[in-house]
Structure 1
Amino acid sequence: MTPENSSTVTELVLIGFSNHPQAEIPLFFLFSLIYLMNLFGNTAIFVLVVIDSCLQTPMYFFLCHLAFLNIFYTTAVVPKMLLNLLASKKVISYDLCLAQTYISLLMGAAECIILAVMALDRYTAICYPLRYLLIMNWSLCVQLSAGAWTISFFVSVVPLYFTIVPICGPYIIDHIFCEVPVFLHMICNDTSLQEIVMVIGASGTLLLPFLLIVLSYLRILVAVIRMHSAEGRKKAFSTCSSHLTVVTIYYGTGMFMYMRPKSVYSAEGDKLISLFYAVINPALNPLIYSLRNKEVQGAMQRALERWKVF
């Protein structure tokens, strides 16, 4: 098939799980359940922080940003994926595919930076407990969150906009949604520049925040070791364990997906990885933060008691 300008393309074939037709209906119900868990769990976190004064602290302010991000990210990719599981014609419009590519890149970068900001928040809370609220004041929290979103936009969306070029047929995407590593395989020309830009962008949004997280937790570890109280150590580990769990899951899959050359691409393997960080992980985050956090559990109990009164 001869190359065509991508401006003439109206829709693309999105293979998804059509190679396993017998699994599509069970997967539809499974992913629908996971998506509903994501919507309910992250919305619940957001609402609890708004209505419960005990949760109106810097840590939960940033957690609200994470909850919003999880909902927005999955809503950009999951509904279309669910429709294609039921449809006989597995397609996605070119415009929606491009939108998914931009959104997945922006949300991924923002999550990395917000997780790094949350690590700094935990470092301040444990290493400078008496000055914590003075340092992490609301003005700084707003500046950090605004900075996270702004930086994410300029290091992910803007470079992609200026490096994206026409794609060639056959217009078939062997994936579950559109994102940069998959989109690279459809570009007509040599993709060396795009790969370099992707690695540089990933270094800025994956490696640098990850390094900041590691340094923060090394300082936290030193501070915890120096604590004389066993109860103090337990409380410090409790406040960090949820965040560490989320960081480990997200960074493990994100680094593998975005910090590697196109030559090691594996369609089936990448579908599973993308499922984990774009669909499953956002639904797990509220569970991780609520099941291992007494403050969130307490806020849930108070909210349920208020509901019973009404």
Structure 2
Amino acid sequence: MDNYTYNSPTLQLEGLNVSKDSIYPLFFFFFFSYLFIMVANIGIAFLIFTDKSLHQPMYLLFCNLIFNDILGNTNLLPRLLIDMLKPSSERLISYYECVVQAFTTHLFGTTSHTVLMIMAFDRYVAICNPLRYAVIMTDKMVIKLTISAWGVPLVWVGILLGLTIRLNTCRTLILNPYCDNPSLFKLSCESVFINNVYGFLFTVVLLTTSIGSLVLTYTKITVVCLTSKNKSLNSKALKTCSTHLVMYLIVVFNGISIITLHRFPQYTDFRKLCTILFHIIPGSLNPIIYGLQSKEVQKLFSKLFESKKIFPSL
């Protein structure tokens, strides 16, 4: 008969199962990935907030994505890096810290979808209603979109974790490199039927809403581009929308992969790697695709480099 520990205040993280030869290469890969994510995202955010020419709805909405990437990766990677250098028996975490990490993890994933949805709406207005863009995308609208992009995930994820913390736990091993909702409710010996139902509905509603809204948005944008003879409009639409669509597909693919792999225990190690890459890949690509591709940001960077070249000559 299994030995159970009921409602233990301390849990153990299984971590990544990698060979000794792979630990340090993987450690430095995660470390430099986190360093790049922080420097790139904070740098782009600093430029947006300090330069008035970038105080436009598109860039202000993009700041939500920056903050979400910083939050999601800071929640995961520093702790993961520390645990990688510890033996498995010392990878301990308190139950309440685990709940907070799980909440932040699911908030990051959900907000990734909602922020991309409001950014798609901004592109729709800019391309399909350019003459009314300034009237529609006011400061109040930007604030409303931002609140909805964070408020809805906060409520949904709050309910998700609320259903989990009501359960009594009888196990202490988290079968994951970090805490998430499935790993937490699997610690319980009680019925988790409600958790599975809500988790399923949560996923279906989120994916249906985000995919549906983006399909509708890009269908209308495509119709406008096909019926318009304005080459500059079509070029702008292709440039801004293609990158946005690529990032969205990456987020959706990673999310679906993680959900699917949860159903196949034989691919546990691959699932663990996917969950980590789900944080790293978007966080690394977002500042490059959305920030450095922008003409305004490119001009600011060129001015900075030109000023650095001038000062040494003085």
Residues of 1 paired with 2:196 and 2:297: CA distance? 42
2:210 matched residue in structure 1: 209
Identity %: 29
CA contact (8 A) 2:76 2:178 kept: yes
CA contact (8 A) 1:122 1:240 kept: yes
CA deviation map 1:177-206 (0-9, x unaligned): 111233343222232211111111122333
AA aligned opposite 2:24? I
More divergent stretch after superposition (24-33 vs 200-209): 200-209
AA aligned opposite 2:253? G
1:264 matched residue in structure 2: 264
Residues of 2 paired with 1:262 and 1:190: CA distance? 18
AA aligned opposite 2:45? F
Shift of 1:146: 0.9
2:41 matched residue in structure 1: 42
- Residue 25 (1) aligns with residue 24 (2): yes
Residues of 2 paired with 1:237 and 1:75: CA distance? 33
CA contact (8 A) 2:262 2:268 kept: no
AA aligned opposite 2:268? A
Please, what TM-score do these two structures have when normalized by structure 1? Answer: 0.91
CA contact (8 A) 2:72 2:104 kept: yes
CA deviation map 1:54-97 (0-9, x unaligned): 22111111110110110011111110100011123333332222
CA contact (8 A) 1:257 1:273 kept: yes
Residues of 1 paired with 2:309 and 2:71: CA distance? 31
1:282 matched residue in structure 2: 283
Unpaired stretches in structure 2, ≥5 consecutive residues: none
2:10 matched residue in structure 1: 10
Matched position secondary structure for 1:11:
strand
Residues of 2 paired with 1:104 and 1:45: CA distance? 23
1:104 matched residue in structure 2: 105
Residues of 2 paired with 1:262 and 1:18: CA distance? 17
CA deviation map 1:197-252 (0-9, x unaligned): 11111223332122111110111111111121333211211121221121010111
Unpaired stretches in structure 1, ≥5 consecutive residues: none
Change (3 A) 1:303 1:166: farther
CA deviation map 1:81-135 (0-9, x unaligned): 0001112333333222211111111121122111101001100000001111110
CA-based RMSD of the aligned residues comes to 2.0
1:166 matched residue in structure 2: 168
Shift of 1:15: 2.4
1:85 matched residue in structure 2: 84
More divergent stretch after superposition (42-51 vs 120-129): 42-51
CA contact (8 A) 1:181 1:257 kept: no
CA contact (8 A) 1:38 1:282 kept: yes
2:235 matched residue in structure 1: 234
2:295 matched residue in structure 1: 294
AA aligned opposite 2:47? L
CA contact (8 A) 1:175 1:182 kept: yes
